[in-house]
Chains A and B, each alone.
Chain A
Amino acid sequence: MRGIVTAAGYVPYRRLRRSAVPELLGSGGGKGARSVASHDEDTTTMGLEAARLALGSVPAAAPSALWFSTPTPAYADKTNATAIHAALQLPAEVAAFDLGGGLRSGLGALSTALSGTGSTLVVLADQRDGLPGGPDESFGGDAAACFLVGEDGPGAPVIAEMTGSASATDEFTDRWRTPGERRSKVWEERFGETRYLPLGRDAWNRALKAAAVEAGAVDRVVVTSMHGRAAKAVATKLGVGEGAVVDDFSATVGQAGAAHPGLVLASVLEQAQPGQTIALVHLADGADVIVLRTTEAIGTWRAVRPVAAQVANGGELPYGKFLSWRGMLNPEPPRRPEPLRVQSPPAWRAEDWKFAFVGSKDRSTGAIHLPPSRVSMQGGAVDDMEPIGLAGTPGTIATFTVDRIAYSPSPPIVFAVVDFDGGGRYPVELTDVDVDTLKIGDRVEMTFRRLYSADGIHDYFWKARPVRAHDG
């Protein structure tokens, strides 16, 4: 049996309250909130966080391929999946591909993996931008999702198998963006709505037929689209039972483009019982439908950090800060030199340290060295250390400070000396932090971030972020 072995969503910590938009601009905005990737996050880092959460539920899993899909990649030409591959410390034999492009490509990657072979880690991420006051700014969202798709196996059983799928493709211009642009444009909404309705109905009917299931027997349906009106209209025409259409997080996260079907599906799987039928409908330049049936194994599968908990666990971001993070407002930077570009050979030599936060542990004294060292700081042993990865190890703040003059893409820098559970100390920048409530003794966890970019090269490394009550 082939299917989904594990799943996870990632919702960044920050939220833009939509009513904050008209408070500044006089118009725009709306009800609810959207998720906002931190200034140090991009689709690669969010995708990695989703992958860490997904694989955290199945330590025995060993993917044979990594597919990363996003319409808003951190790099063109250079493969983004390789950074995720490095951060997960996947073996070199594991291929890592970007399956890029449109809003349709995320679901395409998942459905291709489900009908393919091997054990494929499918990572979806998106970061939606729009001009100030516009609907995309308020109703877009930032998120990632990850699925491990493969055969049923010991320690990593299939929790949901695909029983049917269908696509309906059509060429029409509803939403478009040229490469490099941050703002999307849309055609008059009614045109798209009239296209998506028949496409959605057609794909839905064929998928149900392939799965040999009646609409009324579908327990949960996820309908996602950047075209909100079309999604609502299609959802009402599916013929499913009352309450089957799930909350798509429009009010709390916004529509996270190509990642959104994955995010909502991961959340549904987290709450599903064995033997349920779950359908996923995504509308983007056509319609794609996947029908899944959960297995007995889903009863024992546990999410490391459920999507619902992440959705509930947001911290508000002032609109001005949001605008500056999205490049729509350019506040005065600290009068300090900007950093130089990361050098490729040193970054490659330090791959496990930089991308996976792997230090070294002295075999005789146990002293932990971050970054790894050949000579021990205790006892003087030389070349007698073993690697120790601390990316997944929580820690405690020994002391901290706020640097208001150092260069940062979003000053000030909050910086802490972190003592890791079980040993090891590292002074590290904090992120997703509300400094007014920060205290010595607070608990933190490591998170993969983009420190800055220079000459178009992104500097990926680890920061620490507070562990919050809802995090579980």
Chain B
Amino acid sequence: MASHGIKDRVAIIGMGCTPFGEHWDKDVDDLIVDASMDAFTSAGVTKDDVDAYWIGTATSGSSGMTLARPLQIQGKPVTRVENFCATGSEALRAAAYAVASGAYDMAMAVGAEKLKDGGYQGIASPKPAGDGTARTLTAAAMYSMIVPAYAKKYGLDEDQVMDVLATIATKNHANGAVNPRAQFKKAVTKETVLSAPRLAGRLGVFDCAGVADGAAAAIVVRAEDALRYTDKPLYIKAFAVSTGTGSGLIDPDYDYTHFPECEAAANDAYAQAGITDPRHQLAMAEVHDCFTPTEMVLMEDLGFAERGTAWKEELSGTFDRDGELPVNPDGGLKSFGHPVGASGLRMVFECWLQLRKEATPERQITTDRTLALTHNLGGYPGEMVSLVSILGSELG
């Protein structure tokens, strides 16, 4: 029993991604059609060429009909998947595994979410109350508990941690500012970040990801068929999922300074892809910066920085777009926006652009490396799912 992965057996041959943001004039069907048509055009195929479909959405639809109806997919297998904020990546994983198994020649993954119709700030989806004992805290509050915990563990004061978080917000906003698809195309200063009203704990509005509408899509085929469709396919090197048991919440040993689910998913993915030194082998990474402290902790969980040093690396620019390992060069959840079911595929879309050197020149990263990582987490510290993907522009 082992996690073998599907390294170099499947390739992405076409992608699409809508701008993320407040699409008051589009419903989820429109977003799905826009992203899907861009992906068909990108791959040079039509919907009839695709043998099977997966649609990832957390709250914007149920069943495969969420995709089959707007695209009018006739007589094909279409399945909806959901796994919190890893939903979009799960759709791609399902499509890629289906092709790797030999079941289909061509599969498509679409992720879509329509959040801005809810009428509330933040992500608000009322759930049945059940026995009435589940906590009602916001995600911002749960992640805010990292700040004092991280400060205490590594001998910082909380103001120092807040300065690091403002650096992360500033970096990701600067990246989003030059990305035409980003929700917030505006750079912000650290002073603006630090003086924003506090929402939860010490986290202010600039510490939180943008709530957005959007969709993204990818088409996959067997690796050996990829060059029939594009001369620059993206090869899938690894998919790894780690689903927590939720016991971190009630485990007295959990200290709110790391996410074991993310570390486990990363280690599995690195093993599948044959990566031994991610910081020096990866060209870039798109990580799930739902809140600024999340990105800080992830730099350690994903092996980009030693434990207790991510804060220094963020301050010194290691993860800037022109740094040693660019993290969230497209702006991340922070400024690109976070339509839950679409985010995983949006991250892959950024890898697609950057590894194919197709980002606009002002934001194209310069590197000889050919591997990129995407990471999602869904849930809260102590109870989350995590998914890590590794993609490469070359075989082997």
A347 touching B201, Cβ below 8 Å: no
Residue B140 CB within 8 A of the other chain: yes
| B93 nearest CB across to chain A (Å) | 26
In this complex, the interface size class of chain B, counting residues with CB under 8 Å from chain A, is 35 or more
Taking a contact as CB atoms under 8 Å apart, the answer to whether B138 and A403 are in contact is yes
Question: Complex Cα distance A454/B127, Å?
Answer: 13
Known contacts A401-B141, A406-B141, A377 near B247 by CB under 8 Å: yes
Q: With A340-B126, A425-B251, A440-B152 as given contacts, are A399 and B256 in contact (CB-CB < 8 Å)? A: yes
The distance in angstroms between the C-alpha atoms of A371 and B254, with both chains bound, is 17
Assess whether B141 is in contact with A413, with CB atoms less than 8 Å apart. Answer: yes
Name the prevailing secondary structure of the A interface residues: mixed
The reply on B376 being an interface residue by CB < 8 A is no
Instruction: Tell me, rounded to whole Å, the shortest Cβ–Cβ distance linking B167 to chain A.
Output: 22
Complex interface: chain B residues within 8 A of A406 (CB)? 136-138, 141, 200
Determine whether A465 belongs to the interface, using a CB cutoff of 8 Å to chain B: no
A1 sits at the interface (CB 8 A): no
- Which residues of A have CB within 8 Å of B361? none
- Which of A342, A401, A417, A425 is within 8 Å of B132, CB to CB? A342
**When A400-B145, A417-B145 are in contact, do A369 and B250 touch as well, CB less than 8 Å?**
yes
Q: Which of B301-344 contact A (CB under 8 A)?
A: none
Measured in the bound complex, the distance between the Cα atoms of B59 and A260 in whole Å is 52
B134-172 CB mask vs A (1 if < 8 Å, else 0) is 011110111011001100100000000000000000000
Q: A350 to B131, Cβ gap below 8 A?
A: yes
- Which chain B positions have C-beta within 8 A of A343? 128-132
The residues of B that contact A354 with a CB separation of less than 8 Å are 131-133
Which candidate, A56-64, A176-184, A265-273, A331-339, is the interface stretch facing chain B?
A331-339
With A399-B149, A425-B252 as contacts: A349 and B126 at CB distance below 8 Å: no
Asked if B249 is at the interface (CB within 8 A of a chain A CB), the reply is yes
A433–B133 alpha-carbon span in the complex (Å):
20
Given contacts A400-B145, A417-B145, contact A347 B131 (CB under 8 A): yes
* C-alpha gap A173/B137 in the complex (Å): 48
A429 at the interface (CB under 8 A from B): yes
B contact residues around A440 at 8 Å (CB): 148, 152
Question: In the complex, what residues of B have CB within 8 A of residue A335's CB?
Answer: 120-121
Q: Are A402 and B140 in contact (CB-based, < 8 A)?
A: no
**Min CB distance, B214 to chain A, in Å?**
22
Q: A399 contacts which chain B residues (CB < 8 A)? A: 145, 148-149, 256
User: CB-CB contacts of B101-131 with A at 8 A, as 1s and 0s?
Assistant: 0000000000000000000111010111111
Within 8 Å of chain B (Cβ to Cβ): is A426? yes
Whether A415 sits at the interface, judged by CB under 8 Å, is yes
Which single residue of chain A is at the shortest CB-CB distance from B122? A405
Contact status A405-B133, CB under 8 Å: no
When distances are taken between beta carbons in the complex, the residues of chain B under 8 Å from A216 are: none
- Chain A interface category by residue count: 35 or more
Taking CB atoms, residues of chain B closer than 8 Å to A398 are: 252
Enumerate chain B residues within 8 angstroms of A368, measured Cβ to Cβ. 250
Given A377-B250, A401-B145, A405-B121, CB of A459 within 8 Å of CB of B132: yes
Closest residue to B249 on the A side, CB-wise? A427
CA of A370 to CA of B145 in the docked complex: distance in angstroms?
Answer: 20
The proximity string for A residues 414-430 relative to B, scoring 1 for CB distances below 8 Å and 0 otherwise, is 01010100011111110
- Given A377-B245, A399-B145, A402-B200, A427 and B135 touching (CB < 8 A)? yes
CB-CB < 8 A to A413: which residues of B? 136-137, 141
By the criterion CB–CB under 8 Å, are B133 and A461 in contact? yes
In the bound assembly, the distance between CA atoms of A454 and B128 in angstroms comes to: 12
Do residues B132 and A402 form an inter-chain contact, with CB atoms below 8 A? no
Chain A, residues 244-259, CB within 8 Å of chain B (1/0): the string is: 0000000000000000
B65 contacts chain A at the CB level, 8 A cutoff: no
CB–CB B135/A340 < 8 A: no
Which A150-166 residues sit within 8 Å CB-CB of chain B?
A: none
Closest to A420 in B: B252
Question: Known contacts being A339-B136, A403-B141, is A370 close to B128, with CB within 8 Å?
Answer: no
CA distance A349 to B145 in the complex (A): 32
**Chain A residues closer than 8 Å to B121, beta-carbon distance:** 335-336, 405
Enumerate chain A residues within 8 angstroms of B251, measured Cβ to Cβ.
377, 425
- Let me know if A405 and B138 touch, CB within 8 A: yes
How far apart are A325's CB and chain B's nearest CB, in angstroms? 19
B199 at the interface (CB under 8 A from A): yes
Chain A residues, Cβ within 8 Å of B199 = 403-405
**B26: CB under 8 A from chain A?**
no
Chain A residues with CB below 8 A from B254, complex form: 425
A448 within 8 A of partner (CB): no
CB distance A424 to B252 under 8 Å? yes
Taking the closest CB of chain A, its distance from the CB of B292, in whole angstroms, is: 15
Residues of B within 8 A of A (CB): 120-122, 124, 126-133, 135-138, 140-142, 144-145, 148-149, 152, 198-201, 245, 247, 249-252, 254, 256, 382
- Offer 21 A-B interface pairs, CB within 8 angstroms, sorted by A: A336-B121, A336-B138, A337-B120, A337-B124, A338-B126, A340-B128, A346-B130, A347-B132, A350-B133, A377-B245, A377-B250, A398-B252, A400-B145, A401-B145, A403-B137, A407-B136, A417-B145, A417-B256, A424-B250, A429-B135, A451-B136
Please list the 7 inter-chain residue pairs (A to B) with the smallest Cβ-Cβ separation, ordered nearest first: A403-B141, A342-B132, A377-B247, A459-B132, A401-B201, A350-B131, A346-B131
7 more CB-based (< 8 A) A-B contacts, given A403-B138, A403-B199, A415-B135 = A336-B121, A339-B126, A370-B250, A402-B141, A406-B200, A407-B136, A440-B152
